[in-house]
Amino acid sequence: MIRKLYTVLAFAGLFCSVAVAETHTAARPNMIVILADDLGYGDLGCTGSKQIPTPSIDRLAKEGVFCSRAYVTAPMCAPSRMGLLTGRFPKRYGITTNPNSKVDYLPESHYGLPLTEKLIPEYLKPFGYRSAVFGKWHLGHTKGFTPPERGFTHWWGFLGGSRDYFPRKKEIEGLNPSAIESNFTDKTGITYLTDDITGRAVEFLNEAKQDKKPFFMFVSYNAPHWPMQAKPEDIALFKNIQNRERRLYCAMVYAMDKGIGRILDTLKKDGLDGNTMVVFLSDNGGAPEAPSCNAPFRGHKRLHFEGGVRVPFIIKYPADKRLVPGSVCKQPVSTVDLLPALLKANGAEIPKNLDGMDILSLVGNRTGEVPRTMFWCTDYTSAVMDGDLKYLLVPDRAPQCYRVSNDYQEQKDLYFQNPALAVPLAQKLGSYLTETPACRYPDSIQWSSKLLKEYSRAARPEVQPGK
């Protein structure tokens, strides 16, 4: 019943009910960001999955607010994480793709998040915060670009974009280093990586209870990103699913959900629940090469259709009574809105160069939708969403324009029907593309060609697989 309720509300376009209350508490607020990797939008109980039970994430939605129009800053891993941690759209600092392939004329340091950018931990340090990241980094692996050098006091994980979930004999190097490393412990061996990331997060919370300092914790799971690897006992729970890869994928999501349950339980047990913002989301849509499900949307990872950039997003913060537990909010929000919320909660001004707004004010707003403009740029493709209109540019075809508020499956292209509608968006996107730097590192021709083919194949919205 709960599953059906969340699915219906998420797409009915209802604003959440809100109550007027004071936002701040006496103590500085904590924040936990729990990030899934390549999670399909429809692969949660609260978003309609018929195959994967996710009681912990569903519980978080019941205790918090589900944002039905939530967006990441890029439909792929590295730029998406950069936008979240900087509060800025990644093309503003020349990032439009993952560091997929090395070119001879660029040093490896060029493939990281530019050092000109300031990250959430660096903003929070003057307020006495401890900041931790556990899991996947993917924002630079050379000297000067690692988590401890970007403001994080606690780091345990791997610097690349993917790795095995079980121990491996030899680790990968280059642009995708897979070795587990840490700046606070010598215990870098793994059992099953999803469980190990959860364990580090639980340990950090137990420490936070003792030292009483405010904290920002980034739980950066690599699940359910490729490779498809799961524990036998979890796989056995999905033996009714015939497709082997889908069976593994479901088991990986299930394991992550169990880990999230441990984190939520520890938060409550340690008495940190009331003053902690907990945010759950995915870094982008499910990947086409994985057996994920992005229903009810069109598109997937790497594409600017809703299936690539619109993600399940839940925020819980008991200290702010404007956020009504169990409600659904259709106000457009973005990952760039997290940093401004933390700054405002600490009484600091929000820098004008940030693209975000205070997410607590947005979600707690009861006066109507706040106009937003969001930009995406991947390789040679780009898009802008202004209000409820989205304009897409893919280089081998005509522009596309959709009113995503009521055509969230992007099936009614308005460009030829009403070209004038697209003119203001084309101007905004043109200005954005020409006033921001080109990509710091190019992608391969093969990758760019593959991307265009993916746009052609993603013609219809995805549907939920049966039980």
**Interval 99-150: pLDDT, tens:** 988 999 999 999 999 999 999 999 999 999 999 999 999 999 999 999 999 9
The per-residue pLDDT for 466 is: 83
Lowest mean pLDDT among 14-18, 281-285, 293-297: 14-18
* Nearest residue to 228 via CA among 209, 208, 210, 251: 251
Cα 132 from Cα 126, distance rounded (Å) = 16
pLDDT of 202 over the 90 cut = yes
Residues 339, 312: Cα–Cα separation, whole Å: 19
Q: What digits encode the pLDDT tens for the residues 218-238? A: 999 999 999 999 999 999 999
Residue 394 C-alpha from the chain's centroid = 23
Note whether 216 and 121 are within 8 A (CB): yes
Under the banding of pLDDT at 50, 70 and 90, the label for residue 311 is very high
Q: What pLDDT sits at residue 10?
A: 45
Answer yes or no: 401 catalytic.
no
Q: Which two tokens stand for residue 170?
A: 């030899």
Alpha-carbon gap, residue 280 to 298, rounded angstroms? 22
Average pLDDT of the segment spanning 263-275: 97
Mean pLDDT for the stretch of residues 57-85: 98
Name the pLDDT band for 251 (thresholds 50, 70, 90): very high
- pTM, whole model, 2 decimals? 0.94
The answer to whether residues 124 and 101 touch, using CB atoms and an 8 Å cutoff, is no
Catalytic residue among 16, 46, 67, 77: 77
Catalytic-residue membership of 293:
no
pLDDT for the residue 12: 37
Residues 190-203, mean pLDDT to the nearest whole number: 98
Going by the DSSP 8-state scheme, the letter that residue 310 receives in this structure is: B
Q: Please check the confidence at residue 74 and state whether its pLDDT lies above 50.
A: yes
Phi and psi (nearest 5°) for 419?
Answer: -60, -30
* pLDDT for residue 368: 85
160, 172 in Cβ contact below 8 A?
yes
Q: What is the pLDDT of residues 86-102, one digit of tens each?
A: 999 999 999 999 998 89
CB atoms within 10 A of CB 397: 11
Choosing from 46, 67, 138, 154, which is the catalytic residue? 138
pLDDT band at residue 443 under the 50/70/90 scheme: confident
pLDDT of residue 159: 98
Provide, rounded to the nearest whole percent, the portion of the chain with pLDDT above 90.
Answer: 90
pLDDT at 9: 42
